[in-house]
Amino acid sequence: MNNRNIKQDLEQIDSILKESGISRRDALKMMGLSGAGLMVGGATEAEAATTLKASDAKGKIVIVGGGLSGIATAAKLTHSLSNPDITVIEPNPNSVSYQPGNTLIGAGLWTLDDTTYETQNFMPNGVKWIKDKAVEFNPTANELKTASGEVIKYDFLVVAAGLVNDFGMIKGLEEVGEVYTLDKNDAARAKKIVGQNGLGSIYFAEGAADTWTQMQKFVSDAKSGKKVTGVFPEPHTPFKCGGAQKKMVNLTNARLEEAGARANADLQFLTNGKKLFGVPEYHTAIDGQMKARNVNVRYEHKFTEIDLVNKIAKFEKHWEEKGAWDADLEEFEKIVKTEAVDVKYDFCHVIPPQKAPKEIGSSPIGSEKGWVPVDKATLQHVTYKNVFALGDIAAVPLGKTGGSARKQYAVLCQNLIAVMEGKEMTAKYNGYTVCPLITNIGTVMLAEFSYKPDGTGAMAAPSFPLDPTQERWIYWLLKYYLLKPMTQYGMLSGRA
Ligand SMILES: Cc1cc2nc3c(=O)[nH]c(=O)nc-3n(C[C@H](O)[C@H](O)[C@H](O)COP(=O)(O)OP(=O)(O)OC[C@H]3O[C@@H](n4cnc5c(N)ncnc54)[C@H](O)[C@@H]3O)c2cc1C
């Protein structure tokens, strides 16, 4: 980590806050955040406290995946164990690059340089890094095999391998196939199709840069007087950053307005679901935002195909109708109806269907749906008690954001150490996740939510006493200036 850069980041934050008449301390208080995550140089109080309380528990810990969750976990375990024996298996030299920044790259607000980081600069001291992929798992023998054939034994396994974007699930994008968000080889293949001819996707880093090129072309066509259509479909699978497509439609809207060209563009947002958000008050707020921006929202549209030549996005519209009375069940049958819908586009931002990497999803530690099945509170594997999972790959009901991983890694480390010490696990993940929903260039609605108290569903869980359904400039500062340093210097060092 480079202290000079951190200092510059903090100075930049201070100056923008100063212009607005508030101090960094007050801003962080308003955001309900601790300043500890932003402290640089030397040991923080939090770090000192964990060092003092370091556990003498022993055992070889192997972490599969050295992205955001994997490195944060390795760092925290390094502080929390007096004799850590930790190995990270991660093939990508840039695995810690800042993925949430892709949204800002896609709208021309950041560049790739703002988000690209080298893993070696964040690998905690003393952690062994195997630059390879784990491809076979034998949890009954406590071992796994890497792509190069090395067999690695472990006492405890942490699975933090994220997810893979499967563009190939959309007919017409088979050649693009599976793409990891930060993999340069995948990007080179994907770029030949996605990022060309009106198609964009911020779900891989270079794709985000090309999305900005396509968005600019779209805006300039609208500005020249052409009537244009922008199409923003959500996938039918779970996906990381559930708010990403809403951010993209809002940022496109902002760029069109900036160019004085909004009147010439039809913006269509299509979702497979029946709602814009699982938490009712956030759904209502986002519905209001979409109406205010004249975005055409279409529910129950499954994105199935794209005709690249004629620039048509194809959907299966689905709905239920009441059938005959079932005397046994004492209710009407539900008949699912479908109809094909074609939408011609000038610009289409694709969020690909997503799934667990297949070598894990279809292994003995995976599940029928692919994700790693863990207890949603303790993050311990449902079958193998020395295995834990977190981040995008964990089968927990909410999540698939860096914000949820930030809460999960602290819980996981505490529970893993309890198991190593032969004690009961006491830490519980409450389902917290956060979506800084960009509503305009300069405003964000901070949608924080968690499980309900009974552990089911989702409810709003604001960290501080401000109406969470309002779009605010202060949250833009958080998104634009604070979250990246908090992630890089707080979470990836295991401190916050
Ligand atoms: C466009 C976009 C916008 C986003 N916006 C936000 C946001 O605003 N807020 C937010 O909180 N989050 C956001 N996110 C989500 C956030 O980046 C992820 O949830 C977070 O990175 C998940 O961390 P992870 O460690 O689970 O996965 P990753 O950080 O993706 O790391 C997984 C790692 O596992 C490695 N791996 C995979 N398979 C194997 C294997 N078999 N063996 C070894 N290693 C393997 C991969 O190479 C990868 O480095 C966004 C993501 C994207 C793409």
CA of 68 to the centre of ligand 1 (A): 6
Q: Are residues 350 and 218 in the same domain?
A: yes
Is 184 inside a domain boundary?
Answer: no
The reported pLDDT for the residue numbered 47 is 42
**Ligand 1 in reach of 391 Cβ (< 6 A):** yes
pTM: 0.91
Q: Are residues 13 and 137 in the same domain?
A: yes
Domain boundary (290, 320, 354) is at 354
CA of 452 to the centre of ligand 1 (A): 25
Q: Are residues 115 and 138 in the same domain?
A: yes
Q: Are residues 422 and 350 in the same domain?
A: no
Q: Are residues 229 and 345 in the same domain?
A: yes
Q: Are residues 324 and 361 in the same domain?
A: no
Counting from 1 in the atom list of ligand 1, the atom nearest the Cα of 434 is 11
Task: Look up the CATH number of the domain holding residue 341.
Answer: 3.50.50.60
Is 177 inside a domain boundary?
Answer: no
User: What's the average model confidence in pLDDT over 317-340?
Assistant: 91
**Ligand 1 in reach of 178 Cβ (< 6 A):** no
**b/e burial code for range 437-470 (CB count within 10 A of at least 16 → b):** bbbbbebbbbbbbbbeeeeeebebbeeeeeebbe
The reported pLDDT for the residue numbered 22 is 55
Tens of pLDDT, residue by residue over 97-112, are 999 999 999 999 999 9
CA of 135 to the centre of ligand 1 (A): 18
**Ligand 1 in reach of 165 Cβ (< 6 A):** no
Domain boundary (354, 381, 416) is at 354
Could you give the number of structural domains in the chain?
Answer: 2
Is 365 inside a domain boundary?
Answer: yes
Testing ligand 1's pocket by substitution, the residue of 119, 232, 237, 240 carrying the most ligand atoms inside 8 A of its CB is: 240
The reported pLDDT for the residue numbered 42 is 30
**Ligand 1 in reach of 346 Cβ (< 6 A):** no
The reported pLDDT for the residue numbered 36 is 34
Tens of pLDDT, residue by residue over 342-390, are 999 999 999 999 999 999 999 999 999 999 999 999 999 999 999 999 9
CA of 310 to the centre of ligand 1 (A): 33
Q: Are residues 315 and 398 in the same domain?
A: no
Range of the domain at 260: 194-354
Domain boundary (354, 387, 413) is at 354
Counting from 1 in the atom list of ligand 1, the atom nearest the Cα of 479 is 8
**Ligand 1 in reach of 161 Cβ (< 6 A):** yes
Q: Are residues 286 and 424 in the same domain?
A: no
**Ligand 1 in reach of 406 Cβ (< 6 A):** no
The reported pLDDT for the residue numbered 18 is 59
Counting from 1 in the atom list of ligand 1, the atom nearest the Cα of 72 is 25
CA of 21 to the centre of ligand 1 (A): 36
Tens of pLDDT, residue by residue over 404-459, are 999 999 999 999 999 999 999 999 999 999 999 999 999 999 999 999 988 888 99
**Ligand 1 in reach of 203 Cβ (< 6 A):** yes
Counting from 1 in the atom list of ligand 1, the atom nearest the Cα of 406 is 11
Q: Are residues 480 and 369 in the same domain?
A: yes
**Ligand 1 in reach of 186 Cβ (< 6 A):** no
Q: Are residues 375 and 411 in the same domain?
A: yes
Tens of pLDDT, residue by residue over 177-224, are 999 999 999 999 999 999 999 999 999 999 999 999 999 999 999 999
First to last CA, the chain: 16
Query: Using CA atoms, how far apart are residues 187 and 161, in angstroms rounded to an integer?
Result: 18
**Ligand 1 in reach of 403 Cβ (< 6 A):** yes
**Ligand 1 in reach of 67 Cβ (< 6 A):** yes
Q: Are residues 346 and 360 in the same domain?
A: no
**Ligand 1 in reach of 357 Cβ (< 6 A):** yes
Is 175 inside a domain boundary?
Answer: no
The reported pLDDT for the residue numbered 109 is 97
CA of 88 to the centre of ligand 1 (A): 15
Q: Are residues 212 and 349 in the same domain?
A: yes
CA of 132 to the centre of ligand 1 (A): 17
Atom 39 (ligand 1) nearest CA: 161
CA of 160 to the centre of ligand 1 (A): 9
Is 183 inside a domain boundary?
Answer: no
Tens of pLDDT, residue by residue over 14-62, are 665 555 555 666 555 545 444 333 322 233 334 434 445 699 999 999 9
